[in-house]
Amino acid sequence: MTAPTAAVDLTPEQITVPLDTWDRPVVVLPDDVAARMAASSRTDVKNYGYCHFESRRFSPDSYETRAIQTIFESVLAAHPDEQGLGQYERYGTGYFYGYIVGTSGWDASARTWRDYENTQHLHVDGIHLRHDGRSHFGS
C-alpha cells in the first residue's frame, strides 16, 4: 500500500468529533487524510509485546505531527475533559487512544464503525505528542 499524498495541512474544519455508542469521542477525518495517517501509523512499528507498540518518530515540522496537533485541538474543543489531553493543554504533550477513522469508515447514525473489515486502511492507531515536539503512533 502506498501512502496518499495529501500535501495540504489538516484543518479543524475538516474534523468532526462525535461520540460512539458508549459516549467515547471518535475523530472522523477526510478519507485521504485518514489513509495517510493510517499508513504512517503502521510504518516502522516496534512491537514491545503485551499489545504495546510504537511507530517511528515524526519530526515536529512533519505533516503527521501538525495533523496530530490539529486533532488534539479539535478533540479538546469538543470534549475538554478527554483523558490524555489535559497534558497537551498544559504542556504541549499528550496522547489520544480513541478511535480515529476516515469518513467512509464511520456510520454517524449508528455511532459505530461502517464496514469495519473493508475500511481498515482508514483506521489510525493511537496518537502521541512528545515533550521534544516529535510525534508517534501506537498504544
> Is 9 domain-assigned?
no
- Give the residues across from 123 on adjacent strands: 101
> Is 35 domain-assigned?
yes
- Give the residues across from 26 on adjacent strands: 99
Q: What is the pTM of this model?
A: 0.89
> Is 7 domain-assigned?
no
Rounded CA separation 25/17 (Å): 6
Please report where in the chains the cell 515524526 appears, as a residue: 58
Rounded CA separation 96/18 (Å): 15
**Per-residue confidence (pLDDT) for residue 47, from 0 to 100:** 81
> Is 78 domain-assigned?
yes
> Is 1 domain-assigned?
no
> Is 5 domain-assigned?
no
**Per-residue confidence (pLDDT) for residue 7, from 0 to 100:** 56
> Is 139 domain-assigned?
no
Q: Which residues of the chain have pLDDT under 70?
A: 1-7
- Determine the structural domain holding residue 72 and report its residue range: 14-107+122-127
61's grid cell? 515540522
**Per-residue confidence (pLDDT) for residue 115, from 0 to 100:** 94
How many domains does the chain divide into?
A: 1
> Is 136 domain-assigned?
no
